A and B are shown apart, each in its own frame.
Chain A
Amino acid sequence: MNKELEHSFVEQLQKHQNIIHKVCRLYTNNADAHNDLFQEITIQLWRAYPKFRGDSKFSTWMYRVGLNTAITLYRKSKRRVNTQEFDSVEFKIKAEEYDDTEEQQLKLLYKAVHQLNDIEKALVFLYLEDKDYREISTTLGITEVNARVKMNRVKKKLKTILNP
């Protein structure tokens, strides 16, 4: 039974692993931290798996556990804090030589998103994943109205970071 459970879990996780990668993409700044968080999310998913009854899609369930791990459970290592500081310094230099090419703009956008706080990142993540406000609100545990309000504030904040 246990082997069966393991097998079905790994099979589904393997198929949907990009969801975890994308969470890591937003919440970490380097490969080590990325792998570290990936592993912690995998552990938490596996632990919660016996309770997964299939009344929601496996992928939907992954979003929730993945974000919960990134926002609440995961403990940052010292190394990561240092890289974050490094990134923001680099960002300031780059912002001065801002040019309009799309690639450059994207680079700056990703850096700007990395400057948001954990909750704001979660909103951006779910937005980028095309989740509607209902799902955003139930994932975070806030009302739909508040999710909208917060999302608008995040957009404004991103604008200010990009055009100080």
Chain B
Amino acid sequence: MDELELLKKDWKNTETKFESYSDSEIYPMMHKKSSSIVKTLFYISIGELVFWILASILPYLLSSTFREKLDKSYENPLFLGLSIFSYAVILLFIYLLFKSYKSISTTDSAKRLMESILRTRKVIKYYVLFNLSMIFLSIPLSFYFEYQENPEFHKVITEATTTQMLFVYGIIILVGAVFLIIIWLFYRLIYGILLKRLNRNYDELKKLEV
């Protein structure tokens, strides 16, 4: 006899063995907090949004010299344009995140559900990538800005030897690279742990299509 047929025969009888919950037990259960990965993903994305927004406005609020410098730099149309652009992108991301969370539905097929969760994770990933590239863009940009506006800095740079300049560039690249690796590892860790099982199951379903 087929193994599964034997199992099926027994399966029908298992129903009586379960402890049956009463109405009054189900009520509190349905209002308990969920511990699903979608919820965790949601908290992480909110955390990231808040982190990057704080990272951009806290220096402005806390340091008056920074504020003065920033106010002055807004006179530069390039800088002003970039700032407006980055705030527009934040709004766009909030919208995209909201939309992709709305599209996660437990009544979809398993594969579609997994796809919408992975899509949401991608939105967060792009948001982080955007922030990282803005930081990298701002390093040479502030360098250039300082060179144009600050006479002392201008003098130091023009008088520096090629070796000294190479050294400065080297340091900038090194710091940037270390920063990037740390953030990258951090993300691998968070999403790696959180989505390991989902990715495995998604691959299992995808594998069938080949």
Contact = CB atoms under 8 A, between A and B. Distances in A.
Given A109-B6, A128-B8, A47 B20 contact: no
Nearest to B210: A146
Nearest to B201: A118
A102 B9 CA distance: 11
A52 B107 contact: yes
A9 B30 contact: yes
Nearest to A24: B18
A10 B26 contact: yes
Interface in B131-159: none
Nearest to A145: B208
Contacts of B110: 67-68, 71-72, 119, 122, 139-141
Given A106-B10, A159-B3, A73 B36 contact: yes
Nearest to B40: A75
A14 B37 contact: no
A115 interface: no
B42 to A, nearest CB: 12
Residues of B in contact with A, size category: 35 or more
Interface string B185-205: 000000000000110110011
Given A47-B106, A48-B105, A72-B198, A158 B3 contact: yes
A14 B14 CA distance: 17
Contacts of A28: none
Given A65-B106, A119-B205, A149-B208, A43 B34 contact: yes
A141 B206 CA distance: 10
B7 A43 contact: no
B208 A61 contact: no
A42 to B, nearest CB: 5
Contacts of B111: 140-142
A9 B3 CA distance: 36
A88 B8 CA distance: 22
A119 B11 CA distance: 19
A138 B111 CA distance: 9
Contact of A155 (B3, B197, B201, B208): B3
Given A22-B14, A42-B30, A128-B11, 12 more contacts: A14-B23, A25-B18, A47-B34, A48-B106, A48-B107, A64-B106, A68-B107, A117-B204, A127-B4, A150-B208, A155-B2, A162-B3
Interface of A: 6, 9-11, 13-14, 17-18, 21-22, 25, 38-40, 42-48, 51-52, 61, 64-65, 67-69, 71-76, 102, 105-106, 109-110, 112-113, 117-119, 122, 124, 127-130, 138-143, 146, 149-150, 155, 158-159, 162
